[in-house]
Structures are given as structure tokens and as C-alpha cells.
Amino acid sequence: MKYYLVIDEGTTSARAIAYDLKGQILAVTQHEFDQLYPKPLYVEQDLNVVLNATFKSINDLINKIGDDIISLGIANQRETTVVFNRKGKAIYNAISWQCRRTFKLCDDLKKQGYDKIIKNKTGLEIDPYFSATKIYWLLHNIPHALDEARKGNLLFGTIDTYLMYILSDGKIFKTDVTNASRTMIYNIYNHCWDDELLKIFDIPKTMLSEVCPSAHLFGYTSKMSIFKKEIPIFAVAGDQQSALFGHLLINKGETKITYGTGCFILTNLGEKPLEIEQNLITTLGVQYDDKYNYVSEGSVFFAGSLIKWLRDNLGLIKTAKESESCALKVENSLGVYIIPAFTGLGAPYWDSKAKGIICGLTNGVNKNHIVRAALEAICYQVKDVLDLLTKNNDFNITKISVDGGASSNDFMMQFQADILNLEINRPDNIERTSQGIFYLLALKNGYTINDLKKLNGQYSSFYPLMDDKCRIELLNGYKKAIKKALTEHEKI
């Protein structure tokens, strides 16, 4: 059976997904792995473990449905940083995107006033999240690394680059624009690694891979690889941008929200980037022709994880799914609001000292009201980010598509539509990250965007039903609750 193979390199698992020519998923295999937490703030991944999980998933898939693979594509966790030698041996574990070890370096850079130049070139806010300070840390903390790098013996890659290097026996040293745009050393306007930034971060240019469009012939797997034959690699993209394309949101103003552990909200800005409200980032979308596509990105830190907290820390529910039936047992949250500021408050409040609260408690409140308030809290946070996205910009959000594990909650999707006063569309197949890569592979195999539209599957729609008065009252209540969580009340 002929199929397209998508490898999804996640943060805690590697998956192999087979798509047939009509975009139907034939098989999925998955192996999970643990991240490493050697010290507070440090998050790493053992690359042997990551590669093993990847190879096992590929092997399982081939054992199930054979190896008649048309082409191969990769979706990957973004920003996670690997420094390796020319034999493909990493000098240290991968530093995860979640790792905060370089926060002090980032603070120093901000104090020295580098924010503006970095934002103007990369579209990003200075933050440990992005790869640049992780590379700096590796070069300055692993013995001899800086010397070796200066001699041209070390290479940098995000997970896509490293995996292609391994699968091709060192022949492919490339990445795509979506991954490059998350490194904080790639100029998203001039479309090149930026010499001035490389100087600031003291990173030799010889470490850097060739940046290619997301749909592109990156090269072939080696006969010595797990595949034992040459298979063309035709698509690479970071997971969030891949999911945006996986909904075929290719026009300005089209937006997707992924509801997972956190929420990732991406809006297509079209071919011309805009001055974006501070604290939101501009990044590159997948590139499948000669045009560049800009995307605005905002995130909510605690979404599905808030539901997990209700389950694991408070014991209010046994499964995340049960949150929906609890919420539906009550008519409203009875004035209860939860502000999940477990690690401070993000956009648009930016108060790192804010503490989480549950407020509005009266003796009529039972656990269902609290569970409902938690689901509503996720929706309010999404609204805050979307408001920021549309503020001062020349587009309206026209279409919201959703995916991710928590988007299966119908109550939450309806409340989200009500609070945003916008239609929400959820595909029957919420697996959109790998779908984006499948679309890129199909484009390289002669399909047109119109062909892909026919493969996009069914969506269910949630229409806003709440009246304006009710929406405004709820939002006012939320604003008051936010005020209570902020360390300085006058911030809002």
C-alpha cells in the first residue's frame, strides 16, 4: 500500500502517521519518552531516547502497513536545541523549548536594550524559550565547545535538522523557514541568518544549516538508515505552523487555536507583516511556493493543564473528559472565577508576580461550578490574546478553527464561541499537525490547494448564542477577578 509518512516529533512522544493518497489516516504508531529535569528551570531531552522512540514508531508502522512510502515529512516541537558534531553526535542533551535556564542572560539582554533590534529582525520577544540563548549556553558551558564551534566542527539544529542529518547519514543539513523563525537569530524580513545577531550571541555562522521552504526536496534518507532505502524528504515544519496549514488557513485573518496543555493562537497575517502589539510575536508560516507568509502568535500557558490540575491536585474530576459533564450539570458558574496565574500572568497583563485565585465563593457553590469556572477561564484567556491580536491591526478575525485534545470539549467550544462572539469550527479529525505536513507532501506530489480543500474533511460549527448583556456582564466579572490576581491593582 502506497502512503505518505509523517513523523511528528513532539515534546514527550514521537509518532509515525501514514496518510493514503486521499488524506485518510491509515495507521498511527507512537512511543512516549520522558523529558529530563536535572535542576529547577532545566528541561532536557536525551537524544538517544528521542531517536529510539522515533525509530520504534517508524518500525512499528512499517511492520503494520509495509514500506511503500511515497515521501516523508517532519513536524516537530519548535525551538528545542541540539548542538552536534559532523558525525551526528550531540555534545549534550537537547535543551527543551520549555527550559528556562537562560532567563538571566535574557534579562541582561533586555537591560542592555537589545529587545528592539531583536524584535525588529526576528519578530520575537527576548525569551529563554527561543534557541539563541540555548546555543550560547551550550557553547559556553560544555568544555571545548566554543573552540570546536569556531573551528567549524560543531553544528546547530532544531529537532527537524538533527533528525534529517541522522536519517541521511550527514548528507542533509537543512531546516525550514518556520523552524528557523523560532531561533531568534534568523531575520524573518531579510530571510537569512542575521550576522549582527550572530555576533551578539557569539554563534559562528558555520554552525548554521541551509534554510529552505517548508515544501521542498530536502534530500533522501540513506540506505544505511532505519528505512534501508532512499526516500525523498519533501516537507518540514514546526508543529504550530503546520497545524495552521493543516486547517488550510492560508488567508489573512484566518486563525487557529490549539487547545492542549497550553493554547497556541495563530493568525495568518498574509504576505506583509504588520507592526504587532508588543508582547505578541510575529513568525513565519509554512512556505509552499515562492511567497512568504507571516503569522502572529500568542499563547495561554495554562489551559488543558488547568483541567489536569483539577483532576490531579484537587481531585474534583477523575478524567479530563468528565469536566464537560460536570460543567453541564449547572446553569452557570454562580459568579465563580478562576485565574490560573500559577506562574504569573501572561498577555496582556505581564505580571510575573501575580498569583492564581478562585474567587466569588458563596455557600451555594459546589464542585461543578468550580469545574465550569475552570473551563470558562481557558476561554477568557484566549479572548485576552485574541483582543491583543486584533488591536490596532488592519484585519478582522474571520475564521477560527480549533484542534488539540481539549477542543473535544463541546461545552468549552460553545462558551468560547459565546465569549468571542465568533463562530468556532472544529474538524472531526482534530489531528491537524500531521495533516499540515501531509498537505505539504501532497502539494509536492502535484496536488493543488483546491485539491487539498476537498480533502480537508468535515467540521462541526459552534455559533455564538449568548446575548450581549450576558457576555458583557461575564467579561466584567472576569476583569474584576483579574484585578484581584494582579500584584498592583492599578495595572488594569
Residues near ligand ADP (CB under 6 A) are 260-261, 304-305, 307-308, 320-321, 323-324, 404-406, 408-409
Complete edge-to-edge strand list for the sheet that includes strand 459-462: 281-284, 294-300, 263-270, 254-259, 399-403, 424-427, 459-462
Identity (one letter) of the amino acid at 59? N
Residue nearest to ligand ADP (CB): 405
| Pick 10 or 273: Cβ nearer ligand ADP | 10
Q: Angle at CA 385, nearest 5°, toward 75 and 415?
A: 95
Contact 337, 346 (CB under 8 A): no
User: Of 168 and 178, which CB lies nearer to ligand ADP in the complex structure?
Assistant: 178
Minimum Å gap between C-beta 53 and ligand ADP is: 15
Question: What is the spatial distance between Cα 476 and Cα 492, in angstroms, rounded to a whole number?
Answer: 12
Work out how close the CB of 323 gets to ligand ADP at its nearest, in angstroms, rounded to a whole number. 5
305/434 with CB nearer ligand ADP: 305
CA distance 338 to 357: 6
Q: How far is the CB of 430 from ligand ADP (least distance, A)?
A: 8
Closer CB to ligand ADP, 70 or 406, in the complex: 406
Q: Which of 274, 264, 272, 331 is nearest to 303 (CA)?
A: 264
- The nearest distance, CB 426 to ligand ADP, in angstroms, is 12
End-to-end CA distance of the chain: 59
Whichever of 49 and 226 has its CB closer to ligand ADP, that residue is 49
Minimum distance from residue 425 beta carbon to ligand ADP (Å):
17
Closest distance between ligand ADP and the C-beta of residue 233, in Å?
A: 24
C-alpha–C-alpha distance, residues 375 and 332, integer Å: 11
Nearer to ligand ADP, 71 or 323 (CB): 323
Nearest distance from C-beta of residue 429 to ligand ADP, angstroms: 13
Q: Which is nearer to ligand ADP, 71 or 96 (CB)?
A: 96
Residue with cell 531531552: 45
- Could you tell me the CA-to-CA distances from 380 to 138, 296, 477 in Å, in that order? 39, 19, 11
- Please check whether residue 453 is in contact with residue 248, taking contact to mean a CB–CB distance below 8 angstroms: yes
